[in-house]
Structure 1
């Protein structure tokens, strides 16, 4: 009798598992009530696409490194995925159209740029394709937004610490970053005329990003804006505090760097919580000001989460002890595009039994052989998956979720591996 019951439970579990995804098959379509968090790997920077429980969609970063830069195609960086037959923004668009709720009429309700680095919002380069109206070049977010309409574009206030346009005037005229920035502004100007609204990300707000279709059916869902520029949420209502000391607009040495200005958010769905901090730093090196540790004050207000992306791709200046101890994620996700990801000491901290109550599972989009050779066995011991698009599929209500790896070597993105179900910590 006991064997019969166990077999029945096993079959029920397998059946449930198969409904979520099946290895070798396409990812089953998003359904109302699911929260899908897609981390897309092109090998050229960060790109994520979220589908909220009511079908509201959001892009979080759309990076595209400059292909004319020697480093981009060097052995130090990851290769293009699935191949170089398309531009990175085209692969992102194709991916989105394959998994979006309305494939024929795909739209993006929100696009959030965590900060203005090319691996997060794209880079101009000579020969980049032009938009249909020839107003701007297609690369990164401008490429995605040029092919799929964006309703709200959220960004940090780029007038802090000084107007970025003004700051870039100091650079040589042939610098690609200056052209990248001008191109981005041209994109905003052109698409705003078609209805896109460009807004500044509001630290402390839990209502700026909201469900657009059936919000009343999912009262347990909300997105908490945690940080933007130096403003950090206090953990109470929508109040914020300024982390950075006063800056001297004439002395660039007093300005926070672009990574430190990253936008940070937490997605909540019932008991489930997901953290994404862009390239926020947390480790203070020799010569750094103490205020460059932003992870510690962020960690204090965010608290425990279920899934977290590694700040700054797991680079050496991020994922500090205080962040690990506070977030205690069951799952760490790492978006990799170079041999700097992860830093060896970062990986040691991330899996340390002295910092973690429970050993976390780690997943990387594009681990390089160089990292495996230099870091050694700790990579294989720590990561459940080293290659592929990473999907967090949260089931209705937010109590359970799966990590699903999609094959990034094939444009059809079949399911490669399935992990879970995991139970949201607040549901235990």
Structure 2
């Protein structure tokens, strides 16, 4: 079976894939620090090291595979809730073991990662760093891996992630750095103008350049959209929308994340219509996740027909109060969200588990969804 785990630790984004052959892929592992009241309450045991919590969760899932470490980890983009945050400046990059363990680098310290995939490696700097110290710390982690001959690969749009056995399943990069897969072979197209044609203040930001992935198992299709956005700066930079072209190239899908934590600048009507998911998953860790306008679109039957359910890994108490009319309709409002695909990709079920339980206690689950083979 294929298991897709959306982790509800409350301090960033992390999604674990366990492929039918037992191979494992981690998409992001962020760590937001501090005591901002807008943050959701962290899961029990997170403390100051989100990476340790993520690694413990991964170990529990790997028991059934007989493996001891991750086969691959993928970084969608360079924001702290996806790579890890530090509060004090990073050490100089040229120093030995310069990086501090946070987010993905903490996960790597607690559990092995065979290959790290990064769209920017080995050249960083475009767009300009947002959260400079945390990004430099992450780059230092990558450089330290290179010194230790750790596995590093450049993420390439249109191509499958080389992990596990060859079978009727795959993880394909469908968007990254303004390039989008066409849906045919390895063909890609550039969505953004060339950098040298743009004023520096018009360069796309990290979210616009995020990576996205299509996970397939037989007829089953799942989209992980990272922090891709389709708002395009309130329409003033219409070219800065890689999300909608990506959704149109791959959709419809059975299950999809709601990109950028369900915020106002992602999941436009065109994107929602193209993906037309039966089940939507929101990775939330802040009071701004998700936006009311996004949830209205997800539930709107005029955009696409049929039933749909929405699952959130967390909800801030203020968000839940402000949007009670909509959040009461969620299939799950707090907990790890697992999509379990069986029978060659012809059946799947959504499962919510208690994020504070080491035993993974099931708190809710859907009926089996059946697909045609």
Output the TM-score relative to the length of structure 1.
0.81
* Counterpart position of 1:222: 170
- Which has more radius of gyration? 1
Q: State the distance in 2 between where 1:195 and 1:264 align.
A: 27
* Counterpart position of 1:363: 311
Please give the secondary structure, in 2, of the residue aligned with 1:38: strand
* Counterpart position of 1:187: 141
* Counterpart position of 1:56: 23
Aligned mate of 1:100, from 41, 62, 77: 62
Q: State the distance in 1 between where 2:193 and 2:127 align.
A: 21
* Counterpart position of 1:198: 152
* Counterpart position of 2:87: 125
RMSD of aligned alpha carbons: 2.3
* Counterpart position of 1:21: none
Q: Which moved more, 1:289-298 or 1:242-251?
A: 242-251
What is the deviation of 1:84? Answer: 4.6
- Against the structure 1 CA distance between its residues 231 and 373, is the aligned structure 2 distance closer, same or farther, given a 3 Å change threshold? same
* Counterpart position of 2:200: 252
Q: State the distance in 1 between where 2:196 and 2:41 align.
A: 41
Moved over 6 A (4+): none
* Counterpart position of 1:40: 7
Aligned mate of 1:210, from 152, 162, 166: 162
* Counterpart position of 1:292: 240
User: Residues 230 and 242 of structure 1 are in contact (CA less than 8 Å); yes or no, is this contact kept in structure 2?
Assistant: yes
Count how many residue pairs are aligned between Structure 1 and Structure 2.
368
Matches within 5 A, 1:248-397: 248=196, 251-286=199-234, 288-381=236-329, 383-397=330-344
User: Residues 234 and 241 of structure 1 are in contact (CA less than 8 Å); yes or no, is this contact kept in structure 2?
Assistant: yes
User: Residues 158 and 164 of structure 1 are in contact (CA less than 8 Å); yes or no, is this contact kept in structure 2?
Assistant: no
Aligned mate of 2:101, from 138, 141, 147: 138
Q: State the distance in 2 between where 1:166 and 1:423 align.
A: 43
Show CA shifts across 1:205-233 (max 9, x none).
Answer: 1x3x1342x42xx3x21222211101111
Is residue 41 of structure 2 the alignment partner of residue 79 of structure 1?
yes
User: Residues 64 and 140 of structure 1 are in contact (CA less than 8 Å); yes or no, is this contact kept in structure 2?
Assistant: yes
User: Residues 266 and 275 of structure 1 are in contact (CA less than 8 Å); yes or no, is this contact kept in structure 2?
Assistant: yes
* Counterpart position of 1:29: none
The answer for unaligned runs of 5 or more in structure 1 is 1-33, 68-72, 172-176
Q: State the distance in 1 between where 2:195 and 2:98 align.
A: 35
